[in-house]
Amino acid sequence: MLYQIFETQRSFMEPFSDLAQAASKLFSNPSNPMSQTPLAQRTSAGYALMHRLGKDYEKPAFGIQTIKVNQTEVAIQERIEIDNPFCELRRFKRFSDDPDTLTQLKGQPVVLIVAPLSGHYATLLRDTVKTMLQDHKVYITDWKNARMVPLSDGEFHLDDYINYVQEFIRHLQSKYGNCHVVSVCQPTVPVMAAVSLMASRGEKTPLTMTMMGGPIDARKSPTSVNNLATNKSFEWFENNVIYRVPSTFPGAGRRVYPGFLQYTGFVAMNPDRHAKSHYDYFKDLIKGDDASTEAHRKFYDEYNAVLDMDADYYLETIATVFQDFKLVNGTWDVKGVDGKVERVRPQDIKGTALMTVEGELDDISGSGQTRAAQDLCSGVPASERLHLEVPGAGHYGIFSGRRWRDVVYPQVVKFILSHPLENTAKTVAVAAPKAPAPAPVKPVVAKAAKTEAALAPAKVAARATPAAQKTAAKAVAKPVKAPAKSASPVKSGAAVKTTWVKPKTKA
């Protein structure tokens, strides 16, 4: 019933939001005599803010039209390669008429970015995609809004998520020989399950697996996200956050965790910060600061766009990841598309190199939660495992913004390029970026900050207001053990130090 009430209210407010937008333009139009009155600019700003607060935010576009590769402009075209009921495999195809650039693009590795299905759309990783397009063929999982999926398309469980990931990996392997996988936040757990199951069956597994800010072991450095999940029962979540989609949508009758409830949780984490951001937007409109107002609109167009999650998937994620810790306890059984139930065994992964990335100030996935993957993947040689800590970075900062581009990405790309396909090793080596020699700095020990957060892993952007993206940082890369060949991380803009640590693995 709550969902129907919300939709009724939204439909009622929509015309008023449109009227506010029209009034804002009326008072700011130079051709209108009223725009010359003393309070015109303030009135226009007030109406503009009312429009922003009352409008409905739809799924944003990736909007990546071009990128630069070696100072050459390369055109980008989005394509949907696989269209499943709950997810699209989206490719960002690169085009160039420069022969040298085209040769370089063809030799670059293939990366599957597995985006979170946790409230926001995959466009939240726009910066991740745009940066990686410089050196990779990029694919991404673009999850659909569950309220747009008809009941006739069936249910969606956590097992289906894992099966989708395996399907996409096999598709890229059949097309290119193999691929690399990058998972951000929530998907680190199902991605590890997918690769583990493929390894247990003796299938070819990805060349590398990069896991960033995910709850592999949510028992370590528990945050408010973890505490809420453990303090509330499974039944509490089912009875308090699950509703049926109203009849006005294609998915009418489907049980979901509605996006508007998730959004309420996002804002409730930092209400003062969001209130200040909107007030600053109002003042910037009065001052005519177009750059600041555009940055505000761009951020909140993304932040306010949320999707519904299928109830079965959401509840099973709560139980599996945050309550029963099935992955780390070795008790997780997954049903495949053939109906066969198999046990997830990360120790069976042997031919896939592993990199884990954590932010010092991550209040969604606490310190050590992602690094736990290093211990679980005991079958991967220590020389093929690398851990990166990013001092000063929050959850959002490890995959978007200046820290991602200047600190994290240079090390991710070097890690990927050091594991090429055998038949393309020479080509990829030529395309590898030249790294500046790292200057020695004092190692930093990162301690995750425990600040307030809401439950779902979706809160990846909770602390990322426009003012929160202004700093750069040092990084400490910690390969689990010194490899036989050089694998020193790369960083641009600031010094980096590598330290070798003994792996915490079981025999």
Mind listing the pLDDT tens digit for each residue in 262-319?
888 778 777 898 999 999 999 999 999 999 999 999 989 988 999 999 999 999 999 9
Which strands, in side-by-side order, build the sheet including 137-143?
Answer: 66-69, 72-83, 87-95, 137-143, 110-114, 180-184, 208-212, 353-359, 385-390, 475-479, 496-498
Confidence of residue 118 (pLDDT cuts 50, 70, 90): confident
CB of 374 closer than 8 Å to CB of 356: yes
CA–centroid distance for 39 within its chain: 43
| Residue 179 scores a pLDDT above 50 | yes
The number of residues making up the chain comes to: 507
Closest CA to 499 of 447, 441, 418: 441
* Other beta carbons within 10 Å of 154: 11
For range 337-344, the mean pLDDT: 94
Q: Comparing C-alpha atoms, which of 183, 496, 229, 205 is closest to residue 370?
A: 183
**52 contacts 281 by C-beta, under 8 angstroms:** yes
Instruction: Record the pTM.
Output: 0.82
Across the strands, what pairs with 246?
A: none
Higher pLDDT, residue 424 or 194: 194
Q: Identity (one letter) of the amino acid at 67?
A: I
Number of H-type helices and E-type strands within the chain: 17, 16
pLDDT at 414 over 50: yes
More confidently predicted of 45 and 439: 45
Tell me the pLDDT tens digit for each residue of 13-59. Answer: 889 999 999 999 999 988 888 888 888 999 999 999 999 998 988 89
Q: What six digits make up the tokens of 430?
A: 């030529």
Higher model confidence: residue 135 or residue 7?
135
Outline where 304-386 has alpha helix (H). 311-317, 326-329, 372-376
Sheet containing strand 255-257, edge to edge, reads 243-244, 255-257, 309-310
Mean pLDDT to the nearest integer, 319-326: 95
| Residue 171 tokens, joined | 């598709």
Q: Is the pLDDT of residue 497 over 50?
A: no
Instruction: Classify the phi-psi angles of 63: left when phi > 0, otherwise alpha if psi is within -120 to 50, otherwise beta.
Output: left
Domains parsed from the chain with CATH numbers: 2-60+255-303 (no CATH), 68-239+320-498 (3.40.50.1820)
What letter represents residue 24's amino acid? S
Predicted local distance difference test score (pLDDT) of residue 334:
97
